Chains A and B, each alone.
Chain A
Amino acid sequence: MKSIRLLPLLLLAMMAFTAVPARAVDVGVTVFGGSSIPVVQEDVKSGTTFGVRLPVALLPMITLEPYYASTALGDVTKTFGDLPYTRSGLDGKSYGVNLILGSPVGSAGFKFFPFGGIGSAKLTRPGTEIKETMFDFGLGIGVAPTDAFSIIARGTLNMVKSGDTTRKTADATVGLSYNLFHSSASEGGQK
């Protein structure tokens, strides 16, 4: 079942990589952090998220971006029968790959890009462990003062499948990107 779920991802990667030789390639690294807000989840509260992304711009309008993220949603306290009870928030670890229409790395200037991705997430707390496929999509904006650095803000909706439903969070993050590698057919160089 896992292999079937990952098939579209492999197809995307194959399509992108087969077009690489004649194109410019930018490889960056982004560290990011921000807040994670549960969407219609009464048993957790808002928390934090941070992680790292590796954007690889293979085509003028296509960037593949493997990522790893760690999320800590907040505890929730509710009163039942006149007594308060606290349930620990979910701790999440996720990894996967995003497909970006555009690129958060590369040349200096203003950045705007939609993205979507697929990955694997593990959510845990006492008595609960969810290990499932995760989908995400959102929009990113940013500015690159030079070709090497950019500051990127993103809004992301994450959805971790859980049976016939999903657990969803809306993430607002800010990241700092550094362009590790740049080459093009015309320039043939790298930095």
Chain B
Amino acid sequence: MRKILTIALLGLASLVLTGCPLTTGQVVVNIDLGTVHVSSSDPVSIHNVNLNDNNDYVDHKANVKSISDYAVLGVVNNGSSALNFEVWMTPGTTAYTTAADVKAHAIKLWGPLTLAAGASRTIGWDDSAGLFTAAGKAAVITETLGDGQFTMYALGLGTDGTTTSEFTATHGQLVLVIDAGI
């Protein structure tokens, strides 16, 4: 009996030593990004995000541990040129107006999603999750654990990577799966 007790205590100790949080879960939070439009005269689409406006986030804010899944969703309608659709972000509120400024000061969050001229596509959840960058994930986690405020930039870059290509994305969504205490 003493041996069984010792073994049970060793097992319990292993759980404690390695950490084994039982009271956590995965919660889906979506942020509406509305319609995004980029053109040569308006080369950057800016969206200020305040997670504190999202009830699902607010409900779990005090117990957020991390984020386990990320996606940018919506329907993209491309213009007359092939393009690479990218999303960048900065902490806090910023207002860069050119793609060059965004690329110089922001963190690449997602993309590129390459679209042929005139193409229309609904961005799938699985496809989108694979387009998030490691740096972008780290930045979103930092903001989610911080004040919850950041700025997202949508860019439509031509295949040369510098010129702006026109596109419109509707039903835009940022979807995060938050690991949180429950």
Task: List chain B residues, Cβ under 8 A from A43.
Answer: 26, 28, 68-69, 177
Write the residues of chain A forming the contact surface with B, with a CB cutoff of 8 angstroms. 4-5, 7-9, 11-12, 15-16, 19, 39-43, 59, 61-62, 78, 80-83, 85-88, 99, 101, 116, 118, 125-128, 130, 133, 135, 159, 161-168
Which B-chain residue is minimally distant from A79 (CB atoms)?
B30
- Is B100 positioned at the interface, with any CB of A under 8 Å from its CB? no
Please determine whether A165 and B65 come into contact, CB atoms closer than 8 angstroms. Answer: yes
The answer to whether residues A80 and B30 also contact, given A8-B11, A12-B10, A15-B3 and a CB cut-off of 8 A, is yes
In whole Å, how far is B137's beta carbon from the nearest beta carbon of chain A?
10
Which listed residue (B7, B18, B126, B173) contacts A161, Cβ 8 A? Answer: B18
Q: From B66, B122, B124, B125, name the one whose CB has the most chain A CB atoms within 10 angstroms.
A: B125
Please determine whether B73 and A85 come into contact, CB atoms closer than 8 angstroms. Answer: yes
Please determine whether B24 and A133 come into contact, CB atoms closer than 8 angstroms. Answer: no
> For the complex, what is the distance from the CA of A135 to the CA of B179, rounded to whole Å?
18
Write the residues of chain B forming the contact surface with A, with a CB cutoff of 8 angstroms. 3-4, 6-8, 10-11, 13-15, 17-22, 24-28, 30, 32, 65-66, 68-71, 73-75, 122, 124-132, 171-173, 175, 177, 179-182
Main secondary structure of the interface of A (DSSP, over half): strand
Which B-chain residue is minimally distant from A8 (CB atoms)?
B14
Please determine whether B4 and A135 come into contact, CB atoms closer than 8 angstroms. Answer: no
> For the complex, what is the distance from the CA of A144 to the CA of B32, rounded to whole Å?
57
Task: List chain B residues, Cβ under 8 A from A81.
Answer: 30, 32, 73-74, 171-173
Chain A to chain B contacts (Cβ below 8 Å), 9 pairs: A5-B14, A15-B7, A42-B26, A78-B28, A80-B173, A81-B73, A116-B11, A127-B70, A128-B69
The answer to whether residues A127 and B130 also contact, given A8-B13, A40-B25, A166-B21 and a CB cut-off of 8 A, is yes
Please determine whether B171 and A82 come into contact, CB atoms closer than 8 angstroms. Answer: yes
Please determine whether A126 and B126 come into contact, CB atoms closer than 8 angstroms. Answer: yes
Please determine whether A163 and B66 come into contact, CB atoms closer than 8 angstroms. Answer: yes
Please determine whether A162 and B130 come into contact, CB atoms closer than 8 angstroms. Answer: no
Contacts A5-B18, A116-B11, A165-B26 aside, 6 further interface pairs with beta carbons under 8 A come to A42-B25, A80-B171, A81-B171, A83-B75, A85-B175, A165-B179
